[in-house]
Amino acid sequence: MHATFKINDTLLTADLSKPLDISIPLCNSEKNPLAWYLEAPKIEPVKLDNWVGKVSEGASVNFNTIMFNPHAHGTHTECVGHISKEFHSVNEALQSFFFHAKVISVVPETIGEDAVIPKSQIEKVLNGTIPEALIIRTLPNTASKKHRHYSHTNWPYLHEEAALLIRELGIQHLLIDLPSVDKEKDEGALLAHKAFWNYPEAPRYQATISELIYVPNSIQDGEYLLNLQIAPFHNDAAPSKPILYTYI
């Protein structure tokens, strides 16, 4: 199945029969990715008096309660409400769902004890192109990212100048395979978040950041159609399922 989209006055056709999922599913296991010092999410059957919401225990349906944090337990998409004093819902911020995207791979540079994605690398790999959505895959890239426990690891992060460049280019949606675009312990500075959203000067309310994605090595760097879908939560962030489609 094919669909044609108009991207920057150019008609591009995508193959919708071969979706490329770059989300990490949430599971009831220690194999679930973890960040921000939280324990694993919980998916448990409801218990009411002597009734247990589990077919294998005699119920007519499976009826689970899920306890999780979108920022810490899997692929999620957030809006400026993540860092603003005022409440803003990602469900209201994201009003369209198909975008021209570019996947890039970068090797964070060592600066002191940190691994940092600099402006120069973003500039080089974009090479003059300006997609609506930018998808950053950090190298080395292994499947262990789908199960990694990130707390107290000082993961790589996006330099403030790199985030500023992405904003100045007009890129609306930023996706990355880390728990945050910012340094894990930065005393609340949130420099990359603030630079990307232009907060508090002139916030970009429709712009989003998606974190904790996973881009398999089988997906080559290049241009794709992105379908960015979120769970309809009235919250600053929600679980999301970004899907890529190749152009033909």
Structural domains counted in the chain: 1
Sequence-distant (≥ 6) Cβ neighbours of residue 158 within 8 angstroms: 116, 117, 136, 176, 181, 182, 192
Q: Which secondary structure element, helix H or strand E, spans residue 196, and what is its range?
A: helix 191-197
Is 152 inside any structural domain? yes
181-221 pLDDT per residue, tens? 999 999 999 999 999 999 999 999 999 999 999 999 999 99
Average pLDDT, the chain: 96
User: Which residue matches tokens 């916030």?
Assistant: 203
**Per residue in 63-113, pLDDT tens?**
999 999 999 999 999 999 999 999 999 999 999 999 999 999 999 999 999
Task: Determine, yes or no, domain membership for 12.
Answer: yes
Domain presence at residue 234: yes
Say if residue 192 is exposed, middle or buried (CB neighbours under 10 Å; 0-12, 13-18, 19+).
buried
The whole-angstrom separation of Cα 106 and Cα 31 is 26
Residue (of 22, 21, 4) closest to 13 by Cα position: 4
Instruction: Evaluate whether residue 69 is within a structural domain.
Output: no
Within a domain: 88: yes
Structure tokens at 132: 């609506």
90 vs 232: CA distance, rounded Å:
8
Taking residue 18's Cβ as centre, other Cβ atoms within 10 Å add up to: 11
Question: What CATH code is carried by the domain that includes residue 225?
Answer: 3.50.30.50
Residue-wise pLDDT for 222-231, tens only, equals 999 999 999 9
Helix H or strand E encompassing 158: strand 157-158
d(CA 21, CA 33): 17
List the structure tokens of 186.
């930065």
Only one residue has tokens 């919980």, namely 42
pTM for the full model?
Answer: 0.96
Please indicate, yes or no, if residue 64 is contained in any of the structural domains: no
Residue-number span of the structural domain to which 177 is assigned: 2-25+74-246
